[in-house]
A and B are shown apart, each in its own frame.
Chain A
Amino acid sequence: MQSSPTTKPLSPRKMGAINGRGLWTLYVKEVRRFMNVFSQTLLAPMVTTLLFLAVFALALGGAGRQAGGVDYILFLGPGLIMMSMVQNSFANTSSSILIAKVQGNIVDLLMPPLSPAELVIGVAGGGVTRGVMVGFVVALGMSLFVPLSIHNPGFIVWHAVNASLMLALLGLIGGIWAEKFDHIAAVTNFIITPFSFLSGTFYSIERLPENWSFIAHLNPFFYMIDGFRYGFIGHADGSLAIGFFLVLAVNLFLGFTAHRMIATGYRLKA
């Protein structure tokens, strides 16, 4: 008998209820994916946002225009930060899933021992990280020109994370649904951009005619931007409590939807 008791035979890796290492690997892969091209994913949004800021500042002509009880530029700043965050979290997850699908390497996500919940958390986590990092970089660039002050950091963090998460989950769902790049371009053009532009980033909702302001109050993007802006300037157009719980509820719903899509293999598994 030539047994070697010193080496144990290889056995499958054991893991508990959560495959921590797998989840971490997926998350790091998602983060590295955008950090690899940071000039496109972090610097470009900053430049575009600062251009928007310059345009609006010039268009105002420096008059002492007010919105929401503060100078217009202070009102606009947080809205622009939020807008760049939501656009980037959406772009991150949607492109990640869609490129993987088109190139066929989506199987590398589906084959490993990762549960649908772990897939959702890993991919969405990458999107949230990009959104929050973009928001931070944009805020940093903006603070050179605009005296941003912080009124309530809790609201800033809560809405930054939840808004990024909401759009990351939407991007995940969109990426699973889309079959071609045209589809995702259509979602961006006809859903994400209109919602983010028409949500009170640029104007106080009080300026809208009566019926329109009712519609604006149904837009979850409005509450994200409003709550986030409250964290900076201490003034909100809508109800803070509704916003606080609405984003959470929408995220739970979207997370559940994404989970079901992956679990049933909708447009992922043949």
Chain B
Amino acid sequence: MQHTRRPRLARRYGSVNWRGLWVLYSRKAVLRFLRYGLESIAGPVVSSCIFVTVFVLALGGGAPMSPDLTLAQFVIPGIAMFTLAQVAFDSAAVMIIHDKQEGIIEDVLMAPLTPFEITLGYCLGAATNGLITGGVLMAIFAIFIDLPFSDPMMAVGFAFGGTVLFSLVGVIVGIWAERWDHFSAAETFLVMPLGLLSGTFFSIDRVPDGYDWLLLGNPMFHAINGFRTALTGHSDASVLAGGLFIAGLAGLLALLAWRLFAIGYRIKA
């Protein structure tokens, strides 16, 4: 008897398990989102369109937000940014809480993925979902509203930064949450206030004196302001400082999420 076949070897890979990362990103995050395309994309898109309609109807004809923009031009970049950040947050948090509750988070933890790869997979997956929704939304808005798109690369950059930031928030909330109540609490008391009080609907000079810091300390404000600047050329604050603020905060949150996965906080018994 002679063994002609070689024994099977463990799959080899370098310092990053690219195939594993790709599977986590594509199958677990993005394809799962696209499978429920109607609810997951059309739902937020419809709500945003309603928001714009209501807002323009309610406030149209009033004092303009800024001399060079119409109300719709002012509001639309903000609403689009808010929607994509919210979808990214929801997507990341729901994914992780669902996996935890069904007990299938073990499949991710057992796989030969480092904590860093897990963080990256979940975060980029959720960010992609946010960007897909945002892309659909912007395509619709661009038909009806005249947007100059003065700096497309900057628009993409800020959209990416904002979604990554909020998907990291979603990852951390997902790890922390033990029940769905915790998720809704985070959404109601953290994401909604950040999103609504962010200069989406009003420019910074409408804020009473002494409360400017509320806006300037809100990463959502900087994401929206940068995105609006890129689309319309109108800026409320320093875009460079805003971009650095978002990048720094995203770096910190990524570090935190990585540590949480590494020590297995509320994931490993």
Which A residues fall within an 8 A CB radius of B?
Answer: 37, 39-40, 44, 47-48, 51-52, 54-56, 58-63, 65, 182, 185-186, 189-190, 193-194, 197-198, 201-203, 207-208
Given contacts A40-B181, A44-B188, A182-B36, contact A189 B57 (CB under 8 A): no
The DSSP consensus for interface residues of chain A is helix
Given A39-B185, A59-B55, A194-B50, 13 new contacts (CB under 8 A): A40-B184, A40-B185, A47-B188, A56-B59, A59-B202, A60-B62, A182-B36, A185-B39, A189-B43, A198-B54, A202-B57, A203-B54, A208-B57
Q: Which residues of A contact B185 (CB under 8 A)?
A: 39-40, 44
A65→B63 CA distance, assembly (Å): 10
Say how far B202's CB is from chain A's closest CB, in angstroms.
4
**In the complex the two chains form, what is the Cα distance from A55 to B70 in whole Å?**
18
Contact of A193 among B47, B57, B201, B202 (CB under 8 A): B47
Can you list 12 A-B pairs with a CB-CB distance of less than 8 A? A40-B181, A40-B188, A44-B184, A60-B59, A61-B62, A185-B39, A190-B42, A190-B43, A197-B53, A198-B53, A207-B58, A208-B57
> Taking CB as reference atom, which chain A residue is nearest B187?
A44
A52 and B46 CA atoms in complex are apart in Å by 18
A39 partner residues in chain B, CB cutoff 8 A? 181, 185
Flag whether B264 is at the interface (Cβ < 8 A): no
Contact (A197, B58) CB under 8 Å given A40-B181, A55-B201: no
Among A58, A186, A198, the residue within 8 A (CB) of B207 is A58
Interchain CB contact under 8 A, B38 and A47: no
Query: Which residue of the partner chain, among A48, A62, A65, A193, contacts B188 with CB atoms under 8 Å?
Result: A48
Interchain nearest-CB distance for A252 vs B (Å)? 29
- Are B46 and A190 neighbours in the complex by a CB distance under 8 Å? yes
Q: In B82-106, which residues have CB < 8 Å from any A CB?
A: none
Q: Using a Cβ–Cβ cut-off of 8 Å, how many residues does chain B contribute to the interface with A?
A: 33
B267 / chain A contacts, CB cutoff of 8 Å: none
Could you say which residues of chain A place their CB within 8 Å of the CB of B58? 56, 202-203, 207
Residues of B near A197 (CB, < 8 A) are 50-51, 53-54
Cβ contacts B26-62/A at 8 Å (1 or 0 each): 0000000000101100110011001101110111101
How many whole Å from A230's CB to the nearest CB in chain B? 19
Q: How far is the CB of A186 from chain B (nearest CB, A)?
A: 6
Query: How far is A194 from B48 in the complex, measured between Cα atoms in Å?
Result: 10
Please provide the 3 A-B residue pairs with the shortest distance between their CB atoms, ordered closest to farther: A202-B58, A189-B43, A203-B58
Given A40-B181, A185-B43: A59 and B59 interface contact (C-beta under 8 Å)? yes
Which residues of B pack against A, CB within 8 Å? Answer: 36, 38-39, 42-43, 46-47, 50-51, 53-55, 57-60, 62-63, 65, 181, 184-185, 188-189, 192-193, 196-197, 200-202, 206-207
Consensus secondary structure, chain B interface: helix
Which residues from B are CB-within-8-Å of A52? 196
How distant is B199 from chain A, measured CB to nearest CB, in Å? 9
- Pair B197/A51 contact, Cβ less than 8 Å: yes
Q: Is the beta-carbon distance between A54 and B50 smaller than 8 angstroms?
A: no
Separation of A55 and B60 alpha carbons in the complex (Å): 15
A51 & B36 in contact (Cβ 8 Å cutoff) = no
A54 contacts across to B, CB distance below 8 A: 196-197
Known: A56-B58, A60-B59, A207-B57. A193 touches B50 (CB 8 A): yes
Q: Which residue of B lies closest to A67 (CB)?
A: B58
Question: Known: A39-B185, A59-B59, A197-B54. Contact between A189 and B202, CB under 8 A?
Answer: no
Chain A CB within 10 Å, residue with most, of B39, B58, B200, B202:
B58
Kindly state the separation between the CA atoms of A181 and B53 in the bound complex, as whole angstroms: 28
Are A47 and B189 in contact (CB-based, < 8 A)?
A: yes
Q: Which residues of B contact A47 (CB under 8 A)?
A: 188-189, 192-193
The reply to whether A61 and B197 form a contact with Cβ atoms under 8 Å apart is: no
With contacts A40-B184, A47-B189, A51-B197 taken as known, whether A59 is within 8 angstroms of B50 at the C-beta atoms is no
Given the contacts A47-B188, A48-B188, A59 and B201 also touching, CB distance less than 8 Å: yes
CA of A44 to CA of B207, assembled, Å: 24
Neighbouring B residues of A58 by C-beta, 8 Å: 201-202, 206-207
CB pair A59–B196 under 8 Å, yes or no, is: no
